[in-house]
Amino acid sequence: MLPDPKKKKPAPTQHELSSIILQHERYLAYTGGVRAQLAHTILDGLNLASRTLTEIDLSGASLVGASLYASNLDRASFYCADLRDADLRYTKLNRADMRGASFKGATLNFAVLDQADMRFGRMMYVGTDKSPIGRDEPGPIQPYGSTNPNGVDFSNCSMKGVSFGNAKLEGANFTGALLQGATFKNAQLTNANFSGAVLTNVNLADLNVPPESLVGCVRDITPETSAKFEELKIRLEHHQQWLITGGSEGRPAVMDGEDMRPLAQLLVGRRMTGLSARNVVGIELNFAGSELQAAKFECADLRGANFSKADLRGASFRGAKLLHAIFEGANMAALPLRGGTMLAVDLTGAEVSKEQLDKAAPV
């Protein structure tokens, strides 16, 4: 067990913290430095934004109102940390240990927390009489293990495979979150909102929320959708034949309104120039290396889709959902047309971040 929490580490200045983080980044890069030791440290209101903090130990730390915006915190330990009102937008928290952490008022929208552990946790300390005391004992330390983190914003987060067992998440906002394979056994989710969330491979009985909290959710592929696999595959094959023969054989594919998820990996490296895929469900589909010039993806749900190294010149994504989609190395330049005109990629009204698009190939 740990020493009495009343003996908290003194708060560093911003300058001192920046120096500690720099040494941690050098340690991670194997260029000297030392691993940061910030467990049980008061870091309230300090700036840890846009830094590489992989595997950092912040267990029991107080980060009330701190900014961790866009930092890489993969495999970090936030065990029983106080993250109330913290800014965790766009952070990477893959496989982070966040058991027992308090998130009341924190913002985590657009963060990636895949495989993070957010179950209930309680930190035990040795009191002045050497007897064990829980984190939620009276005193200057807030009751992290029992704090009600209502109002925490998980909207649009990627939280695939996250463990929420026994977590207290009353009033949490999961709107638009990617929650594939997440577990919620015995979680307290009163007034939680899952509107538009992706809840595939999730036991909905564990959520125990009213139907209005699940409006617009994307659930597991239905047997009826799976049964359309052959039909959708044939459409793609005819489209490819139409392209190869210059239109003398086959016909252009129209996928408008379809759930394309049964096609899974059949889209990798495929010729699909001019594909019509308006309003499709294409969550996490893999279009890597495909030819999708002038494709029409208006209002499609393509969250988490992989467009790495795809040719997207002139494609239209008007109103599409693209959060957490991958565009690394994708060609998003304008497409030359006959007559010397150019067709630009259209992202009007699309849900996508600058950080995602910055990874596309330079135009």
Write out the residue range of the structural domain in which residue 244 sits: 221-363
Q: Please check whether residue 150 lies inside any domain of the structure.
A: no
- Determine how many CB atoms are found less than 10 A away from the CB of residue 269: 12
130 CB burial (10 A radius; 0-12, 13-18, 19+)? exposed
pLDDT at 100: 87
For residues 113-117, give the mean pLDDT: 91
Residue 100: C-alpha distances to residues 60, 167, 208, 221 (Å): 9, 8, 21, 33
Q: Find where tokens 């459409």 sit.
A: 235
* 313 CB-near residues (< 8 Å, 6+ apart): 293, 294, 331, 332, 333, 334, 335, 343, 345
Q: Does 54 score more than 90 pLDDT?
A: yes
Residue 142: C-alpha distances to residues 15, 80, 136 (Å): 27, 10, 7
Q: Please check whether residue 316 lies inside any domain of the structure.
A: yes
Burial 234-249 (b: 16+ CB within 10 A, else e): ebbeebbebbeeeeee
Q: Does 13 score more than 90 pLDDT?
A: yes
Residue 110: C-alpha distances to residues 35, 167, 283, 299 (Å): 27, 21, 16, 20
Q: Please check whether residue 104 lies inside any domain of the structure.
A: no
50 closest CA partner among 88, 103, 2: 88
pLDDT at 148: 37
pLDDT at 53: 97
User: Does the pTM exceed 0.85?
Assistant: no
Instruction: Look up residue 232 and give its two tokens.
Output: 């959708």
One DSSP character per residue, 68-101 reads: -TT-B-TT-B-TT-B-TT-B-TT-B-TT-B-TT-
For residues 268-289, give the mean pLDDT: 97
Q: Where are the alpha helices (DSSP H) in the chain?
A: 14-28, 204-207, 223-226, 229-244, 354-357
User: What percent of the chain is predicted at pLDDT more than 90?
Assistant: 74
How far out from the chain centre does Cα 93 lie? 9
Q: Please check whether residue 108 lies inside any domain of the structure.
A: no
Q: Please check whether residue 74 lies inside any domain of the structure.
A: no
CB 336 within 8 A of CB 294: no
pLDDT tier, 142 (very low <50, low <70, confident <90, very high otherwise): very low
Q: Please check whether residue 77 lies inside any domain of the structure.
A: no
Residues 61 and 57: their CA atoms lie apart, in Å, by 9
Residues 230 and 275: their CA atoms lie apart, in Å, by 18
Q: Please check whether residue 13 lies inside any domain of the structure.
A: no
310 closest CA partner among 289, 326, 324, 328: 289
What Rg, from alpha-carbon coordinates, does the chain have?
24
340 CB burial (10 A radius; 0-12, 13-18, 19+)? exposed
Q: Please check whether residue 94 lies inside any domain of the structure.
A: no
Query: The CATH number of the domain where 285 resides is what?
Result: 2.160.20
pLDDT at 265: 82
> How many domains does the chain fold into?
1
